[in-house]
Amino acid sequence: MKTKTMFCALSLLAVTLACQAQAEARNYLPYKTTAVRLADSAQVIVSARLERVESVLTAAGNRDAAVHKRINDGSWQDGEDGVRREAVLRVNEVLKGSGIAAGGELRFVSMRQLQLTAYDADLREGDALYFLTARAEDSRLAVLNDERGAISGPDIGGSINTVVDFVRGYLETGRAGSLDRMLDAIDLGGGRLSVDACIELSWNHEDYAAAMTEERKQRLLSLARLSKPASAERNELITAVGRHQPEGAFAALAEIMLGDATWSTTSLASMALETLDRQAVIGLLLDEWQTAGNDATRMVIVRSLGLIRPKADHDGAELRTRTLDLVGSLLVAGTNKDLLREALIASRDLRAEDAHVAALKKLLDEREGNGLSDAEVKGAVIALAAARKIAPSASGPNGEAVLARQYLLDLAKADPVLKQVVEAAMTFPYTTLIVGADGLGH
């Protein structure tokens, strides 16, 4: 029932949490590269300062040069045939690893074969905590996930000692003994350690479930309430609350969602609320519509209903009908344009069959004079293409009847500008994007 909501939420996390601050690291999974997970994976962890990068002559055709062949000016990667660049650390403290001395030098294969000047300023100019492991092919040390495996003071918005103490404590006690330490690390300032702790308690929640007392759950809930709209911490804390389910979670998450029109908050809170009580949140949204005091709140309600997608056979005909009627009432030219675009997205996602066909045709028929922008016109085309009747005994494209097929074909023929939109929407009705209130495709 909640596949689409969860897909949207998980996709959102994968995109929005890929990088923080200056970090150039790419192609990593945030929930596998928190400070905790890096501490588990690393063979060597040191607090150190990056002193220099040396170019070591090698045989032509060396692997590092081939993998990280120079791109543009070398600021992203700078592999050079016949050269292996090795970075040199001056070690301050060893947290994990044998045969390494404080005050000595430690070499690793330079991230993406970068020269020193291409490293982030925080790594060039100060101490950082480095998580390293030996490469299988030659046993040379490399930083895990490039910059993701190096945490500096600026990364956490404070002193490097804070993350050193955190990791040292984690290594001593393990996950079971680190739960309070992680909750303490969530300062809602957007720093790496704060976000990592939130990620641990949301994505890796099962590892902490046994130790998550009601008091700790309430701390999570309080942090979620205090988090900033659109922040990485809010995204993760909403998810964590939905998974750990403290007392009062339903009401708190609904309050957070209705007071924050950020798309990420709506998406993630909808998933969490749906997990807690699907029918209850649908009813709450429909009731809240009656007293919503502004279009921002109305927009959240419509967006959330589209994500949850009430179904007659699961949630009851009344909730389904009320949802379709609510969304349909907004499919008029006089609706606030941001709200209208969210209603068009919801109409597409609700699998509304013929409930909105007349209203969508009217929007398109009158597009020359009703004030609709290009984004709204395209959104109406996409929503109309998604108006389909599904044959009870069939599946796939042959089992669907596009209710306005001829209308759309005529529209494409008469208006070449819309032809591509019509063709894409008829082929991929539920994944062709409509521009939402945030200006992004959804």
Helix axes 317-329, 263-291, angle to 10 degrees: 100
**Which pLDDT score, from 0 to 100, does residue 60 have?**
79
Q: Is 377 part of any domain?
A: yes
CB 111 within 8 A of CB 26: no
Q: Do 295 and 418 reside in the same domain of the chain?
A: yes
Q: Is 171 part of any domain?
A: yes
The string of pLDDT tens digits covering residues 79-104 is 999 999 999 999 999 999 988 989 99
Q: Calculate the average pLDDT of the chain.
A: 92
Backbone angles phi, psi at 379, to 5 degrees: -60, -40
CA distance 218 to 235: 17
> 214 or 61, which is more confident?
214
Number of domains in the chain: 3
Report residue 154 CA to chain centroid gap.
23
Last residue of a domain, one of 128, 143, 158: 143
Q: Do 178 and 247 reside in the same domain of the chain?
A: yes
**Which pLDDT score, from 0 to 100, does residue 18 have?**
43
Q: What is the DSSP secondary structure assignment for residue 159, as one 8-state letter?
A: -
For residue 393, name the pLDDT band (cuts at 50, 70, 90).
Answer: low
CB 167 within 8 A of CB 200: no
Q: Do 75 and 177 reside in the same domain of the chain?
A: no
The two tokens of residue 182 are 């992680």
The string of pLDDT tens digits covering residues 271-319 is 999 999 999 999 999 999 999 999 999 999 999 999 999 999 999 999 9
Q: Do 383 and 306 reside in the same domain of the chain?
A: yes
The burial class, CB within 10 Å (0-12 / 13-18 / 19+), for 209 is exposed
CB 166 within 8 A of CB 134: no
**Which pLDDT score, from 0 to 100, does residue 396 have?**
57
For residue 27, name the pLDDT band (cuts at 50, 70, 90).
Answer: confident
> 193 or 22, which is more confident?
193
Q: Do 138 and 175 reside in the same domain of the chain?
A: no
CB neighbours (10 Å) of residue 110? 27
Q: Is 212 part of any domain?
A: yes
Last residue of a domain, one of 255, 289, 308: 255
Backbone angles phi, psi at 96, to 5 degrees: -155, 135
**Which pLDDT score, from 0 to 100, does residue 343 have?**
98
User: E-assigned strands of 139-230?
Assistant: 141-143, 150-152
CB neighbours (10 Å) of residue 159? 11
Q: Is 419 part of any domain?
A: yes
To 10 degrees, the CA torsion angle through 376, 379, 381, 384? -120
Domain of residue 388 covers 267-427
Last residue of a domain, one of 204, 221, 255: 255
Q: Do 422 and 303 reside in the same domain of the chain?
A: yes
> 266 or 1, which is more confident?
266
Q: Is 262 part of any domain?
A: no
**Which pLDDT score, from 0 to 100, does residue 23 have?**
41
For residue 15, name the pLDDT band (cuts at 50, 70, 90).
Answer: very low
- Residue 55's DSSP bridge partners are 85
**Which pLDDT score, from 0 to 100, does residue 59 have?**
84
CB neighbours (10 Å) of residue 76? 14
> 358 or 5, which is more confident?
358
DSSP string, 119-157: S-HHHHHSEEEEEEEE-TTT--EEETTGGGGEEEHHHHT
Q: Is 432 part of any domain?
A: no
Q: Do 293 and 413 reside in the same domain of the chain?
A: yes
Q: Do 284 and 390 reside in the same domain of the chain?
A: yes
Q: Do 277 and 304 reside in the same domain of the chain?
A: yes
DSSP string, 3-25: HHHHHHHHHHHHHHTS--TT---
Q: Do 289 and 333 reside in the same domain of the chain?
A: yes
The region of weakest confidence among 9-23, 74-88, 99-113, 259-273 is: 9-23
Residue 47, domain CATH: 2.40.50
Q: Is 162 part of any domain?
A: no
Q: Do 419 and 318 reside in the same domain of the chain?
A: yes
Q: Do 344 and 421 reside in the same domain of the chain?
A: yes
Stated pTM of the model: 0.88
Q: In the predicted model, is pLDDT for residue 215 greater than 50? A: yes
For residue 339, name the pLDDT band (cuts at 50, 70, 90).
Answer: very high
Backbone angles phi, psi at 375, to 5 degrees: -65, -40
Q: What percent of the chain has pLDDT over 70?
A: 92
Q: Is 116 part of any domain?
A: yes
